[in-house]
Amino acid sequence: MNSSSSVLFTCPCCGEKTLSELGVYEMCPICLWEDDPTQSVDPEYEGGANGRSLIEARRQWLIQKQSR
């Protein structure tokens, strides 16, 4: 994470502002999604850095968040 920049970008999975840059495979500290640019462009793509699709990861994140 670039500490000289105070601007944070939204995680494509959990929606929290945690990423210092988009599309550079940075890991979200909240939901542990790795920001894979391929999966951001094609959220149905299963594979890449995360193994499961962004759509599935969002669904699972919402279920986990609601069960807390």
- Pairwise CA distance, residues 25 & 42, whole Å: 15
| Residue ranges covered by each domain of the chain | 9-66
- Pairwise CA distance, residues 41 & 25, whole Å: 14
Residues of the chain with pLDDT under 70: 1-5
Report residue 5 as tokens.
């920049």
**What pLDDT shows up at residue 5?**
56
pTM, whole model, 2 decimals? 0.86
Q: How many CB atoms lie within 10 A of CB 36?
A: 19
